[in-house]
Structure 1
Amino acid sequence: MATSYEGYKSPLSSRYASKEMQFQFSEQNKFSTWRKLWIWLAEAEKQLGLEITDAQIEEMKKNIENIDFPAAAAEERLTRHDVMAHVHVFAKQCPLAAPIIHLGATSCYVGDNTDLIVLRNSLDLLLPRVASVIFCLKNFAESHKSLPTLGFTHLQPAQLTTVGKRACLWIHDLLMDERALRRCRDDLRFRGVKGTTGTQASFMQLFNGDGEKVRALDFLVTKLAGFEKPYAVTGQTYSRKVDVEILGALSSLGTSIHKMCSDLRILASRKEVEEPFESTQIGSSAMPYKRNPMRSERCCALARHMITVYSNAANTHATQWLERTLDDSANRRLSLSESFLSADAALLTLLNISQGLVVYPKVIERHIAQELPFMSTENIIMAMVKAGGDRQICHEKIRVLSHEAGAQVKQLGKDNDLVERVRNDAYFAPIIDQLETILDAKTFTGRASDQVTEFLAEEVEPVLSNYKEALKNMETVTLTI
């Protein structure tokens, strides 16, 4: 006997994405939304004068959630048409309303409009998640805004920054993602009632050529569905350029998540910053001591999928011939759902990470001590010049000592002893009492701390103010797998 373990299951549903996001792309939500759309169409047509009764509408309303999935599947096997299969099943459940179900509409009336409702609701789920991550990182940045750490360019030690300032780089990218997703949400419209090729010809017949009533029908159904405006013109479908914009924003979010989590993986390798690690968590089956950054790795894996799915949307739009071709259908069943489910899963994991980041200041301090002597050479030269020394002579002295210290580090694997070499060279006697100040790591971070304060107040807080309710009710995320 076949079991549920013998068929394919998407890891997005079985392991990663939230129940809320899964519901948006569920069969139950899809087909109950189709029924709502048929009800809204009937209500609007009745309001504009067609012979539709309250009893017919009430009969449909009683069966919105009562979907006979086996019967619909059997009908689809016969008709090879998913919309007509559900029209037939709904009509059998609503015999009184059967004559007016789907009246004047084409398949894309329910298909495309449902997709737009799902896209809207899914964006409404993602945006507070992005804001929650930003909120947690804001608190992290504020707490560590003055903690010096090695900056890196070319993945080589560079001028110091602070832990909080680095976190602000992650926040900056996420702010751009919030803006892009919010614009997609605000710009989203409804397909409305446009007919088979977007001309509304079938509705013109229903309303005896009354174009004003047909236009009113379009706007009335749009309002019933909770949208402000319909798209002014469509072919058989709403333009797949809409999908390009939305999946483009999700792909861009994927790049931000991947960049941040790649940074965390590097920092974890250096033992400077770690993601949460549970007391019972196993890092490696063979190496018990390991604390692998599995959450960040998962985020990177999901983010890569988000990035690549965008090409599906772009290629689908590019190949929509004239008023439409059907080669978008199977592709969009995959690309829309997987983009949002991947984004949802990645953001939940990222929120879990952001709520429990651990910093190891002593390790960071040790790493700074290994590199700061080389970085401080210019300051030592300037201090000597102020004390009356010759810059060129001082430069040569420092150059020789630096190479000697570098050899100790690279060839012998010893600690950087440049400072001790300076202390032991009589030439630098005039500034020996200044060395501690010259080597204070905080003097090498510039305005990093002030930049954090300014950025959080001027750029971050205004965005977070739009999500006060969501942030107030934010819960601690626990990963089940």
Structure 2
Amino acid sequence: MSVDPYQTYQTPLSSRYASKEMAHLFSPSKRFSTWRQLWLNLAIAEKQLGLNISDEAIEQMTKNLELTPEQFEIAAKEEKKRRHDVMAHVHTFGHVAPAAAGIIHLGATSCYVTDNADLIFLKEGLNLLIGSLSVVISRFAAFAKQYKDLPTLGFTHYQPAQLTTVGKRATLWIQELLWDLRNIKRARDDLGFRGVKGTTGTQASFLTLFDGDHRKVQLLDKLVTKLSGFPFAYPVTSQTYSRKVDIDVLAPLASLGATAHKIATDIRLLANLKEVEEPFESTQIGSSAMAYKRNPMRCERVCSLARHLMVIHQNTLMTASTQWFERTLDDSANRRITIPEAFLTADIVLSTMQNISEGMVVYPQVIERRIAEELPFMATENIIMAIVKKGGDRQQAHEKIRVLSHEAAFQVKQLGLSNDLISRVQADPYFDPIKYELQSLLDPKTFVGRAPEQVESFLKEWVEPALNNEESRAAIAKGHKVQLSV
């Protein structure tokens, strides 16, 4: 009987936000077809090493790796009867591959399929995230290059500080994303396979199958690992692979969450200043009550989900710490939720970040006006130095500037007027020798230091090499523009 989706809870991670690729990766269809592939790999390796497994059995298993709707129904009935999901699917697979029914799962324990499948999903999930992250970095790199020369007010303690450029600020975001890319790749490349280890990791059942031949048991482990696409298997395991592996995989995802939260927060603060905004659709409504509003809903979504992503990692720490001896089952329900949610959340954070990076709007005139309000105070040291070069007294010039600065500050803070420090300097005869230089002394481009050059060198020496590999190039090439879901 079909269930009305509007009458039952669905996680918004899969029903509302996630990419179809990531949502499929953790679907029942993918899970159970992967189990079948693992059973096939085991049978192929066992046959190759001399066990009596027919060609017909291998052929029938190969032809029935994907489950039909009818097979899902059979599996559900089997599980209800047997109260064991793996054995339910062993019997279901046997229905469509009868020649293999007697050898499916031969010598294996449930964790042969459940844990090895999880490791496959971790690897494929990390591959998807690496591709998505590469695209996001490339988009922000294009933004940084476009605005590498545009001066903007820097902030320390969220107070006006020396100038930087819009592009230079973006490089701070990109650098952290590059570290996330490095960390996720490390986690992916460090992943091993559980392999063929038996009920408590001793391989006792397989040693019995091969009449005490240790060499064949070792070869079986290596063959199945290779058939499953892994370069190595963990040398020792218990019934499960160590849950510390989950810690190592989800840690860089949590770190990515921290990066995304910082970037999205910066953009939210800039949106309040009306200097930089995330994309805003022509028909988008910012507020149900205040029609003029342009709420930064994309960045708010990133921050919201990033917090969830950072917290999920805590579950892996607690699960790994409470695995008694060769295993307990209190990891199972937790991991069924934790691992898919971490990957789905990271996937959504990245797709939303891509959408933001592809449509950010910069308002140079607003930025210029804010600079004009603060730059006169920042330029006072330059003015003093210019007077000294003309033969003036440094201490006397300092006192003059101090007095005029306080007067201008009074205009700004007490009266709410514009900063008129430069007008006061121009009106004071003491500064007559440098009045013709004031315009050049106040050119914002002279206050940004090496920011434009830093952007250029950073993109060339760090970003381009990080993305100059087949994996990243392919992802960027097919990385179509993201249309954000509601």
In the superposition, the TM-score normalised over structure 1's length comes to 0.98
8 Å Cα contact 2:25-2:125 kept in structure 1:
yes
| 1:441 and 2:444 correspond | yes
Q: Residue 319 of structure 1 aligns with which residue?
A: 322
Whole-angstrom CA distance in 2 between matches of 1:53 and 1:260: 58
1:371 to partner: Cα distance: 0.5
CA distance in 2, matches of 1:391, 1:14: 68
SS at match of 1:100: coil
- Residue 301 (structure 1) aligned with residue 304 (structure 2): yes
2:459 aligns with 456
Separation of aligned partners in 1, 2:10 and 2:228? 32
Mapping of residues 15-414 of structure 1, within 5 Å: 15-67=16-68, 68-414=71-417
Bigger shift: residues 366-375 or 57-66: 57-66
Deviation at 1:2, TM superposition (A): 6.4
The CA RMSD over aligned residues, in Å, is 1.1
Q: What is the one-letter code of the residue matched to 1:90?
A: F
Runs of 4+ in 1 over 3 A off after TM superposition: none
User: Distance between the aligned counterparts of 1:375 and 1:145, measured in 2?
Assistant: 21
**1:251, 1:355 → 2: CA distance?**
24
Name 1:424's counterpart in structure 2: 427
Q: Secondary structure at the match of 1:99?
A: coil
Which structure 2 residue ranges, 5 or more long, are not aligned? none
The alignment of Structure 1 onto Structure 2 pairs a total of residues equal to: 481
Post-superposition offset of 1:94: 2.3
Question: Any idea what SS the aligned residue of 2:99 has?
Answer: coil
| In structure 2, C-alpha distance between the alignment counterparts of 1:127 and 1:95, rounded to whole Å | 40
Distance 2:185 2:426 in 1: 58
Give 1:242 deviation, angstroms. 1.0
Distance in 2 between residues matched to 1:190 and 1:147, nearest whole Å: 50
Q: Which amino acid aligns with 2:14?
A: S
- Correspondent of 1:465 among 458, 465, 468: 468
Q: CA deviation at 1:80?
A: 2.0
Percent sequence identity is 63
Q: Which amino acid aligns with 1:469?
A: A
Name the CA distance, whole Å, in 2 between partners of 1:139 and 1:457.
12
Distance in 2 of aligned mates of 1:183 and 1:2: 42
Helix, strand or coil for the counterpart of 2:152? Answer: strand
1: CA distance, partners of 2:128 / 2:173: 21
In the alignment, residue 64 of structure 2 is paired with which amino acid? N
Q: Is the 8 A contact 2:29 2:67 kept in 1?
A: no
One-letter code aligned to 2:473: K
Q: Does 1:476 align with 2:481?
A: yes
Tell me, in whole angstroms, the C-alpha distance in 2 between the residues paired with 1:66 and 1:32: 7
**Partner Cα distance (2:3, 2:85) in 1:** 26
Q: Which residue of 1 aligns with 2:10?
A: 9
1:78 and 1:292 mapped to 2: Cα distance?
53
Q: Which amino acid is 2:428 matched to?
A: D
Q: Which TM-score applies when normalising by structure 2?
A: 0.97
